[in-house]
Amino acid sequence: MTSFPTVRSAEALEQGNTLAPRFDANGLIAAVATHAETGEVLMLAWMNAEALARTIETGEAHYFSRSRGELWHKGATSGQIQKVVEARIDCDQDAVWLQVLPQGDGGACHTGARSCFYRIVARDGRLVLDR
Amino acid sequence: MTSFPTVRSAEALEQGNTLAPRFDANGLIAAVATHAETGEVLMLAWMNAEALARTIETGEAHYFSRSRGELWHKGATSGQIQKVVEARIDCDQDAVWLQVLPQGDGGACHTGARSCFYRIVARDGRLVLDR
């Protein structure tokens, strides 16, 4: 069972050098992946402790699939492995930012799009396709 | 009460032009804000339906503060208003990406940092300050 320490003070949480992620009630933390070269946001997914630990250890993005209820080594079947160039955690340690280089066909989305965020929300609330 | 439609098919959800966000059991959706000019991830926060609607209507980022349990017009007190250059939604409509221009002192984090992601996770799992 992978585990991370818990820190008690806001000072340690926000300014310390101990990774002490604050998983939610479901044991998950949000993770955003951006393309390390273009800065494009590719996807937003979730990690449990094991996914975060494996991501750090292997340098390849691992998530937790909420739909399948299991560890998800991104690209293991699709080839869209995400090589992690840099991982960061936010102030209150409840979100992770990965800068990645997508392998395979360079995509990240199950729809075939390069990024999951292929639709713009217009000012009238309609969605505009941009892929 | 602000509300958005629900779409039933995966096709409509993923390829349609109807904004039909899938809020979680708490009525929230994840929102990531990046700097529209530098691409830096500034913060990851949450929106309820009202926050999303106000963001679209006003062109300024609104979130839902989980700690305070209320609508949060980012920058209303700090001056760090986030002008939305572009808003996008992801394939399965459970995450929002805002490209923003931070006003005021240009920061986004309550700690005073420009971005909430001011610590790098090193390969040994320790955090390295980079702000």
pLDDT band of B95, cuts 50, 70, 90? very high
Position B1 confidence tier, pLDDT thresholds 50, 70, 90: low
Interface of A with B in 26-65 (CB under 8 A): 30, 32, 34, 38-41, 43-44, 56, 59
Which chain A positions have a beta carbon within 8 Å of B17's beta carbon?
119, 126-129
**What are the tokens at B104?**
């005021």
Residue type, B44: L
Q: How far is A75 from chain B (nearest CA, A)?
A: 17
B126 neighbourhood in chain A, CB within 8 Å = 17-19
- Which chain B residues are Cβ-neighbours of A56 within 8 angstroms? 121, 123, 125
Q: In chain A, positions 68-127, which contact chain B (CB-CB < 8 Å)?
A: 86-92, 95-97, 109-111, 113, 116-121, 123, 125-127
pLDDT tens figures, B60-78 = 999 999 999 999 999 999 9
| Nearest neighbour of A120 by CB, restricted to B14, B86, B121 | B86
Nearest to B29 by CA among B85, B97, B82: B97
Contacts of A57 (CB under 8 A, 6+ apart): none
Cα-flanking dihedrals φ and ψ of residue B32, to 5°? -110, 135
State residue A1's pLDDT score: 55
Residue type, A29: I
- Cβ contacts of A111 on chain B, cutoff 8 Å: 14-15, 91
Identify the pLDDT of residue B2. 78
The reported pLDDT for the residue numbered A74 is 97
Give pLDDT tens digits for B31-53. 999 999 999 999 999 999 999 99
Task: Indicate whether B129 pLDDT > 80.
Answer: yes
- Degrees, nearest 5: CA angle A21-A25-A27: 50
| Residue A41: pLDDT over 60 | yes
Can you give the pLDDT at residue A39? 96
- Are B39 and A44 in contact (CB < 8 Å)? no
What percent helix, strand, coil does chain A show, rounded to 5? 10, 35, 50
